[in-house]
């Protein structure tokens, strides 16, 4: 009798005699069909599937707007239309543009940067539940899906940022050497987005109501990130709240990335600081990028064998 046949026979006998199946599996060197690999192995498996991740992200980008008349233009039109609405409501009607030089560039920068994170988080929450058939049919690191969704949004951001830079120049700003820092900020933001996408992907796989809650969460996040108003002017100047409240809002990751990008693109945003963001802002960006990426991978990996079950 072969070893597999012996293992099956012993497992049946063990089941009847009450001997733990785990002990039998250990004796014959058997392991679960879907077992969570060690973390370094898991990361290596993801790297080996990098071409699949990139191809999957690209194909989703191509097919996403294939049935619409304007096609890929919607990825630029959506933040532009949102910015136009917010400019009308908060900039003109509610007077949010007071004491803010070059408010159009201020608002557009906030909208484009926030939209990148918002879309990544929203897509990440559906990355597991929206691909259950693939997960159940194929064996691959499940983190490939949230990663592909993040890369998909990054590809769209590349077009959006080109439009943003043109619009910023059109509002009176001129390119400087500090614009070379733009990829650094986007890299840190992408690291944060990957981590955040992995966290919500695991939560979304077990909490089916998360997709219903996310619009309210991201809308609150939008209002707390200073997208269409100056945190310092509104919180400390208008509301008269202590400075630590404004500092706490700047530590919000979305607000930090937005503030740093505004410091780079808009010369008049903070004249006394020039193009150098406050230390607190760039330190917040670095912290959130490293923490979210590390924690997100670990948190998602811990539930690797549970995705697609139930």
More confident position, 22 or 221: 221
Number of domains in the chain: 1
More confident position, 101 or 9: 101
Query: Which CA distances in Å does 23 have to 30, 135, 253?
Result: 10, 29, 48
pLDDT number for residue 35: 67
**Which pLDDT tens digit goes with each residue over 99-155?**
778 888 888 899 889 999 999 999 999 988 888 888 888 888 899 999 999 999 998
Query: Domain for residue 25, yes or no?
Result: no
Query: Domain for residue 194, yes or no?
Result: yes
Query: Domain for residue 20, yes or no?
Result: no
Average pLDDT, the chain: 81
Determine the Cα–Cα distance for residues 122 and 190; give it in Å rounded to an integer.
Answer: 14
Contacts for 293 with CB less than 8 Å, ≥ 6 apart = 191, 192, 194, 195
Query: Domain for residue 13, yes or no?
Result: no
Q: pTM (2 decimals)? A: 0.82
**Which pLDDT tens digit goes with each residue over 214-244?**
999 999 999 889 888 888 877 887 778 888 8
Q: Specify the DSSP class assigned to residue 130.
A: G
More confident position, 48 or 11: 48
pLDDT number for residue 157: 87
Q: Determine the structural domain holding residue 158 and report its residue range.
A: 38-309
End-to-end Cα separation, the chain, in angstroms: 36
Distance of CA 131 to the CA centre of its chain: 18
Query: Domain for residue 24, yes or no?
Result: no
Determine the Cα–Cα distance for residues 100 and 226; give it in Å rounded to an integer.
Answer: 12
Query: Domain for residue 294, yes or no?
Result: yes
300 pLDDT higher than 90:
yes
10 phi, psi to nearest 5 deg: -65, -35
Which burial class, exposed, middle or buried, applies to 38 when counting CB atoms under 10 A from its CB (0-12, 13-18, 19+)?
exposed
Query: Domain for residue 239, yes or no?
Result: yes
Q: Determine contact, residues 232/246, Cβ cutoff 8 Å.
A: yes
Determine the Cα–Cα distance for residues 196 and 31; give it in Å rounded to an integer.
Answer: 31
Query: Domain for residue 16, yes or no?
Result: no
């Amino acid at each position: 009798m072969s070893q597999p046949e012996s293992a099956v026979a012993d497992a049946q006998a063990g089941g009847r005699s009450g001997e733990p199946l785990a002990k039998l599996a250990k004796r014959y060197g058997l392991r679960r069909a879907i077992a969570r690999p060690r973390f370094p192995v898991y990361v290596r498996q993801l790297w080996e599937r990098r071409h699949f991740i990139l191809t999957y992200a690209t194909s989703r980008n191509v097919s996403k707007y294939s049935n619409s008349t304007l096609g890929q233009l919607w990825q630029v039109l959506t933040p532009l239309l949102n910015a136009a609405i917010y400019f009308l409501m908060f900039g003109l009607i509610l007077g949010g543009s007071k004491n803010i030089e070059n408010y159009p560039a201020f608002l557009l920068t906030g909208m484009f940067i926030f939209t990148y994170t918002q879309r990544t988080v929203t897509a990440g929450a559906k990355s597991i539940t929206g691909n259950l058939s693939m997960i159940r049919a194929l064996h691959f690191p499940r983190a490939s899906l949230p990663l592909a969704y993040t890369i998909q949004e990054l590809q769209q951001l590349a077009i959006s940022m080109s439009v943003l830079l043109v619009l910023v120049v059109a509002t009176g700003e001129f390119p400087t050497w500090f614009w070379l820092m733009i990829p650094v900020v986007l890299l840190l933001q992408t690291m944060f987005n990957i981590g955040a996408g992995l966290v919500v992907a695991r939560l979304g796989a077990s909490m089916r109501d998360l997709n219903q809650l996310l619009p309210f969460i991201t809308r609150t996040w939008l209002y707390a990130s200073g997208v269409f108003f100056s945190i310092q002017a509104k919180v400390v100047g208008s509301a008269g709240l202590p400075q630590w409240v404004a500092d706490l809002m700047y530590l919000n990751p979305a607000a930090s990335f937005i503030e740093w990008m505004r410091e780079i693109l808009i010369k008049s945003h903070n004249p006394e600081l020039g193009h150098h963001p406050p230390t607190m802002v760039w330190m917040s960006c670095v912290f959130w990028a490293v923490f979210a990426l590390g924690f997100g991978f670990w948190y998602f990996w811990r539930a690797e064998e549970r995705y697609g079950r139930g």
